[in-house]
Amino acid sequence: MAKKTRGKRQVKRSAARATKPRAAGGARDGLGVVEGSTHEMPPLPAADALADAPTFTDLCLDDAQRRAFDAFCAEAEAPDEMHIGFVIRLDRGFPLVACEGTMFRAEHAVSFAKRNREKDDMALPAVGDAVAVRLAPGHDRGVIERVLPRRSTFERWRGKNRGERQVLCANVDRVLIVAALGAGEVLLDRIARSLVLAADCGAAASVVLTKADRCTPEELAEEVARVRRLVGEHVDVVVTSSLAGEGLDPVRACVPEGTVAMILGESGAGKSTLLNALLGHEALETSAVRARDDAGRHTTVARVMVKLPDAGVIADAPGLRSLPLVGHERGLARVFPEVVEAAHGCRFNDCTHTHEPGCAVREAVETGEIDEVRLEACLALAREMRVSAQSLDPDVKL
């Protein structure tokens, strides 16, 4: 009985804390006060001010998530306070949750706060997560108590620290890989590693080339051909110009009703401009790129979901400077299946597919069965993963 009583007290404290601002210090109160500073950050946007935010019915629960929620509620204190919802926005790590008929701000339960101190980002709620959230009567802020099973997770290794993984979006159906035209050659390496990350989480991928109005017809044709040669025939390549309103319908077709797409690209790639064009109004802030090197600035500072008219939901995130690959061999094999299949015929098990006699992969290149551009991209990423794996913390499990 003592244990049960403690559980009840903890629930009441969490619910009460959800509506009371903390003392000065700690941005988690949503008031934007930075600990140890008198400077106030901008307040979080109110839930009712987010006109393009998806509702609960715009997103899809699967049977595993419903069963997990029911099982959790069966053992939870005050189960009538529990709701099932989706995290549709993260402002400075502060979640906005959409439940049936409502949406509200929420904070993490004590167990999540502990994991945050341990830097276990895989355990923390991400945009797109289905969650069990407690909303006590008379309160306007909830407490997320459980992340429900994820169908998929788009994740990356955080920056230069290969020992921490970061979930960028959960329950993703498609990844829109955005790259800007008109600023030199499109970086094929960036597209290739984005394809691997998408394949590793089980999501389909499409490449969206933005700012086509900055290219001559000849330059555009050349760049599209380069990208198509890399991605192969099974990945859609869409060319857009938000300025001219071109290519928007093919992008919408990539995100049908009931699906979630994540938009991925560097700062300055035109992600926010593209989303504004898809929405039909200026919903997201945009900024100019630097003239001398076309580098962009971080315009998106929150991870947000928006509902497209007559289409599905897109999750936007701040531009990512790096996409390191560690332990993504499964994704690599899915993106370059012809290389993996041919490699089984090599004479040596440790063949590098560069100079060895009896290399079936090189023979396939000579006969045209494997495109050399795709092979070079595959080998470069495989080498990176082998080197990066050696620098991993031995306690990290891939």
Domains of the chain: 43-147 (2.40.50.140), 153-316 (3.40.50.300), 336-390 (1.10.40.50)
Query: Quick check: 73 pLDDT over 50?
Result: yes
- Residue 296 pLDDT: 46
Closest by CA to 156, choosing from 254, 62, 262, is 262
Residue environment code for 85-98, b if the CB has 16+ CB neighbours within 10 A, otherwise e: bbbbbbbeebbbbb
- Residue 65 pLDDT: 97
Here the tokens at position 345 are 């015929």
How far apart CA 263 and CA 316 sit, in angstroms, is 5
Confidence of residue 326 (pLDDT cuts 50, 70, 90): confident
Query: Quick check: 9 pLDDT over 60?
Result: no
- Please tell me which residue, 25 or 72, carries the higher pLDDT value: 72
Q: For 229-261, what is each residue's pLDDT tens digit?
A: 999 989 999 999 988 889 999 999 999 999 999
Instruction: State if pTM tops 0.85.
Output: no
Task: Supply φ then ψ for residue 365, to 5 degrees.
Answer: -65, -45
- Please tell me which residue, 292 or 139, carries the higher pLDDT value: 139
Q: For 76-119, what is each residue's pLDDT tens digit?
A: 999 999 999 999 999 877 899 999 999 999 988 887 666 655 55
Query: Quick check: 394 pLDDT over 90?
Result: no
How far apart CA 329 and CA 200 sit, in angstroms, is 8
The beta strand positions in 111-203, using DSSP E, are 130-134, 141-147, 153-157, 165-170, 174-180
Least confident of 149-153, 163-167, 275-279: 163-167
